[in-house]
Chain A
Amino acid sequence: MKKSPAAILRFHGVRGSRPVHDPHNLIYGGNSTCIEFDTGSNYSIVVDGGSGLQNLSALKSVNPQRKKLHILITHTHWDHVLMLPFLRQLESSDFEIHFYAPDVAGVPFKDIFHDLMKPGRLPIPKPSIKANLSFNKVTPGKTFIIEGKVKVVGFQVNHQHITLGYKISYESSVAAIIPDIASIEGGNLLGESFTEQAISIGVKKFEKNYQRQLIKFLEDVPNVVFDTHFNQENLKADWGHATPEFAMDICSKANVKRLFMFHHAPEDLDHDIAKKQMVAQRLAVQLGMDVINAREEDEWPLTAA
């Protein structure tokens, strides 16, 4: 008998930079980053609170039994947090929302979250927060457990400030989500404290170490969601994003079996994204890897490797 998967990966928002509505991007969707790791339990785990968060079933009447939401924040750029102040559940006393995020430039995520609701900025009456909120600081490399069963560990990737990729494990299901990330090669040091570390041990050595650690972080993870905002023609490395080629290079070295390309550029229409997959597929065949464009509303059972 075929064993049913322990968890499901569900894409609620797959765009980078900003949400975009366009009649020509309805196949892949226009909401910014939000990915659900669904264990089928009475709580929800999502990575990031971009505009895709509005599609989470736990926030709608279709799934009223889920009153507990765990939100892992990769970093605090707008496309990853802009839906948070609009969460209607903030005002519900029978809802629990637990945030997990690193401090950014020494500022705790809690302060950044409350600043999103500053008077005169939020276009709705400031929520009177009745939900039970908790703010949990994430330290890269330090594993933490959600609901006693879901293991999560963060890894600082090469993007502005502190940006974390997350590896999430539940029973036999494992997935990693690598949000905004750029190649570090050529001294493209974007992450907080990367320059200082590189100065202390030498840039080349730091780049090599970082790359090795990134590959180790992803080693044998069967399902990886990876930033592929750019392509080879329009790559701007200092913007902090990757290409399918970079994603495939890292993932093949880490023995990843299934790569989801996401953080699609807002300018890319459906046909651009489809073309990106066609180009990637040629290389993927040689590498023995499945390469799939992440698409809003798609869900993928996370089978074991």
Chain B
Amino acid sequence: MATNCRMKFHGVRAFHSVPGRRNIAFGGNTSCIEICDDSSHIFINAGFGLNQALPNWLNDHKSRKDRFHCAILFSDLFWDSILGLPFFAPIHFKSSHLELFTSASKSQIEDALNDMSSNLLTPFNGIESFPSKLSIHGSTTKKQWGQWTIMALPLLHPLAPYPLAAWRLTHTSGIDLGFVMISSPDEHALALIATFLEGAKTLVCAASNGPHQDVWSQDRTTFDDALKLGLLVGANDLYLSQFHPEMTDIHLQSELRKLSEKLPKLCGDPSRISIHLASEVESFISLSTQARAKAG
């Protein structure tokens, strides 16, 4: 079934942006993934990567004036997942409609977005000042979005006084995607996520440890945790993302090599799972092609 479902990493970094030459191969923008088919747009997180999406939108909009409608699913409300929103071109047009989903409550996301767009930190004055229509859906568990079914798993995290979310997106064509952009690495959390995402064929998981042990990544999943989760879920494709800012291209390639070496020991058949480093440089990944290739 031809679906034209595709996915693009616009921001692969956790914590903060790291523009520069040392990150050419994988990227330096904060968290954002775009998933779309012919009729719908979904973004996971709205870090600065969001501003790299839809590069021609403004010009197209000027000539066509069509209405833009998208869903943004937030894994959390930390700065690195929301700061791209005030700079996202469609938010400045009345004809746009952005629907925002989180596991946190509606008031919690409103507070976060108002903090982010306060007039002390931006030229705006809270979310009311954006011309576009913003629909805020707190405490999301399940939602239909075009041909996608969106499901959220609320997660507790020591840094957040609100629940974070792991996301599962299933398409009527059978495409099945899991997103774990932030999670505690403890056994209990990983087991919960594995149950929630069991059977998802493509898993995007945070691998946020730095080149050295540090406090920033102590409550985050590592490269090893991500692989473990990928195997537990039974994913065919594991995309590692949400990289620590100090992980340069060289570090990331080295981590991937190490994981590939560990794989035969962890599962009898290493061809069970393909491990990829998420990259902002790569163009859209065709999900339908992948699903067919695996099925074949």
Contact = CB atoms under 8 A, between A and B. Distances in A.
- Real binding pair: yes
Interface of A: 15, 17-23, 25-26, 29-31, 51, 54, 76-78, 81-83, 86, 104-105, 107, 112, 115-116, 118-125, 160-161, 239-240, 266, 296
A18 B48 contact: yes
Closest 4 CB pairs of A and B: A30-B19, A21-B28, A123-B78, A21-B19
A112 B77 CA distance: 18
Interface centre among A120, A160, A240 (most CB of B within 10 A): A120
A125 B214 CA distance: 11
Contacts of B52: 20, 22
A83 B16 contact: yes
A82 B280 CA distance: 22
Contacts of B14: 123
A146 B162 CA distance: 43
B216 A124 contact: yes
A22 B21 CA distance: 10
B120 interface: yes
7 contacts: A17-B87, A19-B19, A21-B28, A54-B245, A81-B121, A119-B160, A125-B215
Interface string B108-135: 1000100100011111000000000000
A39 B76 CA distance: 42
B138 to A, nearest CB: 14
Contact of A18 (B18, B87, B160): B87
Interface of B: 14-21, 23-24, 27-29, 48, 51-52, 76-81, 83-84, 87, 108, 112, 115, 119-123, 159-162, 182, 215-216, 218-219, 245, 280-281
B87 A161 contact: no
B271 to A, nearest CB: 32
Given A30-B20, A54-B18, A119-B161, 12 more contacts: A23-B281, A51-B16, A76-B120, A78-B83, A105-B119, A120-B160, A122-B78, A123-B78, A123-B80, A124-B159, A266-B87, A296-B20
Contacts of B218: 125
B87 A54 contact: no
A112 B120 contact: yes
A51 to B, nearest CB: 5
A266 B52 CA distance: 10
A119 B14 CA distance: 17
A86 B83 contact: no
A227 to B, nearest CB: 14
B281 A20 contact: no
Contacts of A122: 78-79, 159
B79 A123 contact: yes
A114 to B, nearest CB: 12
A82 B16 contact: yes
A161 B20 contact: no
A69 B279 CA distance: 35
B49 to A, nearest CB: 9
Contact of B216 (A77, A125, A160, A296): A125
B119 A21 contact: no
B229 to A, nearest CB: 20
A117 to B, nearest CB: 10
A243 B87 CA distance: 20
Contact of B120 (A54, A83, A104): A104
Contact of A20 (B19, B83, B215): B19
Contact of A78 (B28, B78, B121, B182): B121
Nearest to B245: A54
Contacts of B24: 23, 26
Given A77-B122, A124-B215, A124-B216, A51 B17 contact: yes
B112 A121 contact: yes
Given A29-B20, A105-B120, A21 B87 contact: no
Contacts of B84: 18
B164 to A, nearest CB: 10
A31 B112 contact: no
Given A77-B121, A77-B123, A51 B19 contact: yes
A123 B19 contact: no
A15 B123 CA distance: 16
Contacts of B51: 18, 20, 266
A115 B115 contact: yes
Contacts of A51: 16-19
Contacts of A82: 16, 79, 83
A21 B121 contact: no
